[in-house]
Structure 1
């Protein structure tokens, strides 16, 4: 359909239309004439359509009101009067994305689907949710998702509970998260950015229900909305639906949601904060030093792109001069930074982690001296070229690792449109890239550093230092406060608190009626594609080396991976293979120092990275593969040069730079410490599987807590272990990088295969010719049942086992069981009633099964819920319509849209797992044909796993010690 500027289409007036060549789309700006709602359309041939509605929601305090509201509006609405339509859609939709996100100044509700009928259903549910939520009818929604006083009996202790309350307790358990919260607070103290839109757990209980309702009334109105349509859908029909079903019933109103700007500071401001450390831990070198700078405006897109590159130059590459200067002067053990232009006033931040608190002035001095030297002498032009190329490659590749393209573009649109700017400016990157390339022949970046960093007073310096026992003291203060409050209540008031909790529990435990559930639009089995997607894999041979060829359209990008069998290493060298993957490309080689090497990689490739990957054989839990993976991507015409660089790294890396290797060890250690807080559910699940799975035991050595402890030992005893480290890295290299030990993976079009054949000899000729053979590992798999102690305020509770070892088999129906548990039994009991942020069950082809919770206030109660899963499955009462929903929701997970690089990685995984297309088709058919009897038949399988009683909990030290009888041993994790 042809649109004309100035014309109206179903209540929407077309304001602007333009071609966006960079993303092969037509961009349109509409305004809804009756309400003033703003609507952006990006039209193209992408069948993965996206709808989103967002609102500008500046927080007025740190109660987390925007975040709690984001959760709550998805708990039932006018047309879809179930407790959680969001969960019903996760069960029954073919969506490729379904979520909601709270930002510092906006709240957005994006969905995506490739199915037209499903897409319309998603639009309908989300529009009804945000405009007509049930929060006005049921105060219990606010209690459940936000916070409430928890008290079942008058004799019990009074507690706080609530999903967001517990989520943010977990988030702010991490000192890294706490620090990043302080950046905007210190830079923009007179604006909404000084508040935590997610919520500070100490402030969340100050939020009242009336404030909660008033916020929705004020901001969740079409006049304050930003609507988005992306993909190949019928735009006119979509506009008709949005207008006729929703917007026509509203009138335009004035809403003051503008984000006020912070007046520039007259001088840098200084702040000191503390975070909790265990009493027995040393506080030496456990501080964070942080410098922050306000950088112009979100609407200055060229400067923002320039600072994205400047941040990469200064802090991201192995040659990064600011990072090097700080580490060389022993300021922190890990240095990183961030440039965030998703705010009205962007910021640039520099962080030194594991630093000495007394080095604050030295930290500041080195930063400004280094920046001053760069401005005076100029930045290395090769470093500039490499950094620009890196960012440009990412923009052109457009691979967002499984996140729908349209969702990413919505974020880019909102980064300017929310503040009154051109919505498409961040997508039209060609002129911006060309403009910043003047830095190759001028002082462009140097002048920006001078203006926004060196000469700017709008900055802050933050010290975040450890305080022993802070969590315990705060917890005691909280308990005393709650105790005093409880004592102040009359008998009648206590009865009211108990009654409210009872009403909440009644609502949570009362199933939705069948009539209510039928209001949720759903699909039918006939809407599902019965055929599995065939992943591209053809096995070839080049000069005696096996090649896994993945024929797929890559837009002339070569995806090359070298896969060396890592199981040729003796067990004592396994952690060194992971260390090797962590240092390669970041230290000197025979022909390049690490800075020059980094520049060459940036100039000639998209990236070259290294990792150790493991794959368990389908149906054979005792068998697994392990590969040392060299992963690269480059334009086809630069593949030869990329291969030369890979060969240089593999064959000529020098392990003699003692200081640089120690710096790398400390940085990796710092990364793992962050992961313990941010991905504790993954850490606990991997650890519990190591009690019974040889593959998981291997994983613990190369990527789990075992590897973290290995890094801590190397760091603490580096001087005495240095010769051993150097020799072992050499030994690993000599053993791994041999032609006989290599398999190659290549993703590209058929016509590009010749490019690989021309380039492969560059790799092969640089490898050794030693014949190596696999080692048989004898991992001791023991039921350790560990409690992993941290200063976090929540738990990550994992339990698992292997069902094939107990005589059971895997089928596709296991995936339906996962869906049912995820969005019914476990969701209702662990998240809704228990207050955890999430819970994940997994049943895999290897027979490994685990359940793990995320940011969970409970411990033993959660394990009891896991143990009752068999009873739930045995007595499952699921009608045909509901089973259809679960099947569709399961297929959704199997049909995630795959980018070209993802297709190559999934094909590699299936190759090593021993899975072919017929296996995947069989699994898909079993999913589609799953019956209620199949689900009930999983009860004994799950019961066998639960009876194996493998448990691992990562979390609050006191909580775990209070339940110490559950565990075989207690371990303090962070050293």
Structure 2
């Protein structure tokens, strides 16, 4: 259908239409005549259709009202009054993406689906949720999702509870998180960015119901909305649906949502604050620092991208000049950069970790002296070329790690659109890349440094210092405050809190009626593809080496993996192998310095990196495969150069630069420490799995807590240990890099495969051809039941075992069980009632079965919930309609949208793990045929797994010690 400028289509007037070559889309910008709602449409042939609606939501305090609303509007609405329509959709939709997100200045509600009927169903539920939520007639929604006083009996201790409250307690447990939140606060004293949109736990309980409802009433209106449509769907039908069912019910409204820019500072602002470490921890080298600069406005399209390139150039590449200068000055153990261009006034940050507060002035001096030197003497043009090339490669590749392309484009458009800028300026990157390429023959980046950093007083220096027991101090203060508050309440006021608590618990425990559940639209079984997606590899030969080809269109990019069987090394060397993979490509070779090597990689490829991978076997619980993998993404005509570089790394890597090795080990430790605080559920489940699974024991030694301890031991004894460590590296390389243990994997079309075959000799010539010896690794199962102590404000609670070891077999029906337990039982018991931010079940072919919680205020209560899962399954019953929803939700996860590189990885994984297409088809058949009786029959399996009593809890040291009877051993993580 052709659209004409100035014409109105279902209430939407077309203001602009143009082809955006960079994203191969026709872009249309509409304004809704009656309400002023803005709509951007990107038309293309992508079958993964995206819809999103967003609102400008500038907070004026730290109560987290915007964040709490994001959760709360998805707790029932006018047409869909279920308590959790969001969860019901996940259970019963074929969505490829479904979520909601709160940013510093906006809240967005995006969804994606490849199924047209499903797409309209999802759009209907989301639009009704944002415009007609049940928050106005159900006060328990704010209590559950935001905060409330919890008191079941008059003699109990008064506490705070709430999903967002506990989520943000977890977020504020991480020093990196505290630092990032402090950066905006330091730079924006008078506008919305100085407030914490997610909510500061200290201030979340200040939010009143009146303020909560007022925020929705003001900002969640079509006149303040930004609507997005993307993909191959019928635009006319979509516009009609949005107008007729929603926007037409509203009138235009003047909404004061303008965000005024912060006036420039006259001088740099300095802020000193604290974060918590445990009482047993050492305060030395635990300080974080950040230098931060406000840089123009987000509507400056050239600056938007050029400062991103500059941040990468100065702080992210191997040997990045600013990062290297800071490390060379021994100011700290890790340095990274951040360029936040998603707010009105973007912020450029230089972050130093594991330092000491007395190095503050030296940190400033080194940063400014280094930048002055770069301005005076010029930046290496090869480095500039490398950073421009990798930026352009990633923009063209448009592979956003599983995120639908349409969602990424919407978020990019919103960066300017939200502030009355052109929504297309950041999507049309070509002309700006051409301008930036002038830096190859001019002082382009040097001028940026001078203007936006060296001569920029709108800046701050944050020092985040460690304080022993600060978390316990705050907890004690909170408990004391609540105790005093309770003591001053009358008997009637206490009873009111008890009644409100009981009212909330009653609502949470009362299932939605069948009538209410049926308001959520459901697809039929006919809407589900009965056949699995083709995810296979073709076995071919490349100069005598097995080549696995996954046939996929990749826009002439070859995704390559050189997979070396790493069981050629001894079991005691597994952690050394993992460290080696981190170093390869980041240290010198005999041909290149690590700086020059980085430039060569970035100029010629989309990236080269090595990883240590383990594949659990689908049929044998004790069997698994391990590989050292060299990965490369490269445009097809540069395959020869890419393989030359890979071969040089394999043949010529030098370990002589011990200082560089120490730097990389310290950075690695820093990043794992961030994971321990931010993604503790991953650490806990890996540790738990290592108790009973050989594959998980391997993962624990290569990326888990055991690996962290291994790295810390090397760092603490570096001078004594480094020579023996280097000998290990050399021995491992001699054994692993062998032609006879190599598999080559290629994702692409025939042209990409042909290019690899023609040039694979570059790799083969540098490999050993000796006979391969494959080692057998021993495994000793042990139930350690650890409490892992950290200064976190929350817990990550994991429990599980391997059901195959107990005599059970895998069936696809277990995936439906996973959906039911995760999205029904655990969601309601651990998240809704327990106040944790999340909880999930992990059930896989190899037999591993684990429950885990995320940012959880509880321990024993959560473990009891896990133990009671079997009883829940015994009594589980539901309608045919609800069972169909669980099945559809399970299929949705199986059919997750994959980028070409992800599809290639999946195909190779299936091959290594011995999962055939027939196996996957059988699994799908079992999912589609799952009945209520099947779910009931899993009760014994779950009970037997829980009876094994294998437990790991990572979290607050005080809380774990209070529950020490749960554990056999307490482990101080950071000691």
Question: In which range does the TM-score fall when normalised by the shorter chain?
Answer: over 0.9
Question: What is the CA distance between 1:779 and its match in structure 2?
Answer: 2.4
Partner SS, residue 690 of structure 1:
helix
Partner SS, residue 31 of structure 2:
strand
Residue pairs, 1:43-58, within 5 angstroms:
43-58=43-58
Could you tell me whether the CA contact under 8 Å between 1:620 and 1:846 is conserved in 2? Answer: yes
Aligned partner of 1:620 in structure 2 is 620
Aligned partner of 1:680 in structure 2 is 680
Aligned partner of 1:10 in structure 2 is 10
Aligned partner of 2:869 in structure 1 is 869
Could you tell me whether the CA contact under 8 Å between 2:543 and 2:757 is conserved in 1? Answer: no
Question: What is the CA distance between 1:768 and its match in structure 2?
Answer: 1.6
Q: Which moved more, 1:762-771 or 1:413-422?
A: 762-771
Could you tell me whether the CA contact under 8 Å between 1:315 and 1:336 is conserved in 2? Answer: yes
Q: Which moved more, 1:767-776 or 1:84-93?
A: 767-776
Partner SS, residue 971 of structure 1:
strand
Alpha-carbon separation, structure 1, partners of 2:218 and 2:542: 66
Alpha-carbon separation, structure 1, partners of 2:770 and 2:679: 40
Partner SS, residue 50 of structure 2:
strand
Alpha-carbon separation, structure 1, partners of 2:676 and 2:98: 26
Partner SS, residue 622 of structure 1:
coil
Alpha-carbon separation, structure 2, partners of 1:724 and 1:465: 35
Residue pairs, 1:551-630, within 5 angstroms:
551-630=551-630
Aligned partner of 2:692 in structure 1 is 692
Question: What is the CA distance between 1:857 and its match in structure 2?
Answer: 0.4
Aligned partner of 2:456 in structure 1 is 456
Could you tell me whether the CA contact under 8 Å between 1:296 and 1:346 is conserved in 2? Answer: yes
Spell out, residue by residue over 1:50-99, the C-alpha distance to the aligned partner (whole angstroms, 9 max, x if none). Answer: 11111000001000000000000000000001101111001001011110
Aligned partner of 1:922 in structure 2 is 922
2:764 matches 1:756:
no
Spell out, residue by residue over 1:563-601, the C-alpha distance to the aligned partner (whole angstroms, 9 max, x if none). Answer: 011111112211111111111111110010111000000
Residue pairs, 1:794-805, within 5 angstroms:
794-805=794-805
2:393 matches 1:365:
no
Aligned partner of 1:143 in structure 2 is 143
Partner SS, residue 264 of structure 2:
coil
2:908 matches 1:911:
no
Spell out, residue by residue over 1:101-149, the C-alpha distance to the aligned partner (whole angstroms, 9 max, x if none). Answer: 0000000000111111000011110010000000001000000000000
Aligned partner of 1:353 in structure 2 is 353
TM-score by structure 1 length? 1.00
Aligned partner of 1:306 in structure 2 is 306
Could you tell me whether the CA contact under 8 Å between 1:537 and 1:548 is conserved in 2? Answer: yes
Question: What is the CA distance between 1:536 and its match in structure 2?
Answer: 3.4
Could you tell me whether the CA contact under 8 Å between 1:697 and 1:781 is conserved in 2? Answer: no
Could you tell me whether the CA contact under 8 Å between 1:800 and 1:850 is conserved in 2? Answer: yes
Partner SS, residue 699 of structure 2:
helix
What CA RMSD, in Å, does the superposition of the two structures yield over aligned residues? 0.7
2:948 matches 1:948:
yes
Partner SS, residue 95 of structure 2:
coil
Aligned partner of 2:64 in structure 1 is 64
Question: What is the CA distance between 1:494 and its match in structure 2?
Answer: 0.2
Alpha-carbon separation, structure 1, partners of 2:275 and 2:826: 33
Aligned partner of 1:790 in structure 2 is 790
Aligned partner of 1:510 in structure 2 is 510
Aligned partner of 1:378 in structure 2 is 378
Alpha-carbon separation, structure 2, partners of 1:923 and 1:773: 35
Aligned partner of 1:671 in structure 2 is 671
Residue pairs, 1:64-103, within 5 angstroms:
64-103=64-103
2:840 matches 1:840:
yes
Partner SS, residue 767 of structure 1:
coil
Could you tell me whether the CA contact under 8 Å between 2:689 and 2:696 is conserved in 1? Answer: yes
Aligned partner of 1:703 in structure 2 is 703
Aligned partner of 1:186 in structure 2 is 186
Alpha-carbon separation, structure 1, partners of 2:251 and 2:61: 29
Partner SS, residue 905 of structure 2:
helix
Partner SS, residue 256 of structure 2:
coil
Partner SS, residue 696 of structure 1:
helix
Alpha-carbon separation, structure 2, partners of 1:186 and 1:652: 47
Partner SS, residue 615 of structure 1:
strand
Could you tell me whether the CA contact under 8 Å between 2:536 and 2:917 is conserved in 1? Answer: no
Unmatched runs of 5 consecutive residues or more in structure 1:
none
Partner SS, residue 621 of structure 1:
coil
Aligned partner of 1:962 in structure 2 is 962
Could you tell me whether the CA contact under 8 Å between 1:619 and 1:804 is conserved in 2? Answer: no
Stretches (4+) displaced over 2 A? none
Alpha-carbon separation, structure 2, partners of 1:110 and 1:259: 23
Alpha-carbon separation, structure 2, partners of 1:355 and 1:858: 33
Question: What is the CA distance between 1:377 and its match in structure 2?
Answer: 0.5
2:269 matches 1:269:
yes
Aligned partner of 2:815 in structure 1 is 815
Aligned partner of 2:830 in structure 1 is 830
Aligned partner of 2:253 in structure 1 is 253
Q: Which moved more, 1:304-313 or 1:749-758?
A: 749-758
Question: What is the CA distance between 1:770 and its match in structure 2?
Answer: 2.5
Could you tell me whether the CA contact under 8 Å between 2:536 and 2:911 is conserved in 1? Answer: no
Residue pairs, 1:388-787, within 5 angstroms:
388-787=388-787
Spell out, residue by residue over 1:293-334, the C-alpha distance to the aligned partner (whole angstroms, 9 max, x if none). Answer: 001010011111111110111000112000000001111100
Could you tell me whether the CA contact under 8 Å between 1:536 and 1:552 is conserved in 2? Answer: no
Alpha-carbon separation, structure 1, partners of 2:938 and 2:640: 52
Alpha-carbon separation, structure 2, partners of 1:826 and 1:678: 21
Alpha-carbon separation, structure 2, partners of 1:373 and 1:572: 46
Question: What is the CA distance between 1:544 and its match in structure 2?
Answer: 2.1
Question: What is the CA distance between 1:620 and its match in structure 2?
Answer: 1.2
Alpha-carbon separation, structure 2, partners of 1:145 and 1:750: 52
Question: What is the CA distance between 1:661 and its match in structure 2?
Answer: 0.2
Alpha-carbon separation, structure 2, partners of 1:317 and 1:536: 35
Partner SS, residue 665 of structure 2:
helix
Question: What is the CA distance between 1:778 and its match in structure 2?
Answer: 1.1
Could you tell me whether the CA contact under 8 Å between 2:636 and 2:751 is conserved in 1? Answer: no
Alpha-carbon separation, structure 1, partners of 2:244 and 2:646: 58
Alpha-carbon separation, structure 2, partners of 1:623 and 1:475: 46
Question: What is the CA distance between 1:751 and its match in structure 2?
Answer: 3.2
Alpha-carbon separation, structure 2, partners of 1:702 and 1:468: 30
Spell out, residue by residue over 1:467-525, the C-alpha distance to the aligned partner (whole angstroms, 9 max, x if none). Answer: 11111111110000000000000000000000000000011011101111111111011
Question: What is the CA distance between 1:272 and its match in structure 2?
Answer: 0.1
Question: What is the CA distance between 1:772 and its match in structure 2?
Answer: 2.2
Aligned partner of 1:118 in structure 2 is 118
Partner SS, residue 623 of structure 2:
strand
Spell out, residue by residue over 1:687-733, the C-alpha distance to the aligned partner (whole angstroms, 9 max, x if none). Answer: 10110001111111111001000011011100110111111111111
Alpha-carbon separation, structure 2, partners of 1:875 and 1:750: 54
Could you tell me whether the CA contact under 8 Å between 2:714 and 2:721 is conserved in 1? Answer: yes
Could you tell me whether the CA contact under 8 Å between 1:536 and 1:903 is conserved in 2? Answer: no
Alpha-carbon separation, structure 2, partners of 1:729 and 1:779: 24
Alpha-carbon separation, structure 2, partners of 1:934 and 1:476: 48
Spell out, residue by residue over 1:619-671, the C-alpha distance to the aligned partner (whole angstroms, 9 max, x if none). Answer: 31100001111110101100010000001111101001111000000000000
Could you tell me whether the CA contact under 8 Å between 1:56 and 1:225 is conserved in 2? Answer: yes
Could you tell me whether the CA contact under 8 Å between 2:386 and 2:602 is conserved in 1? Answer: yes
Alpha-carbon separation, structure 2, partners of 1:365 and 1:56: 39
Could you tell me whether the CA contact under 8 Å between 2:557 and 2:752 is conserved in 1? Answer: no
Could you tell me whether the CA contact under 8 Å between 2:536 and 2:908 is conserved in 1? Answer: no
Could you tell me whether the CA contact under 8 Å between 1:96 and 1:114 is conserved in 2? Answer: yes
Alpha-carbon separation, structure 2, partners of 1:429 and 1:145: 40
Alpha-carbon separation, structure 2, partners of 1:641 and 1:152: 68
Partner SS, residue 96 of structure 1:
strand
Alpha-carbon separation, structure 2, partners of 1:280 and 1:104: 36
Alpha-carbon separation, structure 1, partners of 2:693 and 2:754: 41
Alpha-carbon separation, structure 1, partners of 2:726 and 2:941: 48
Aligned partner of 1:342 in structure 2 is 342
Could you tell me whether the CA contact under 8 Å between 1:619 and 1:847 is conserved in 2? Answer: no
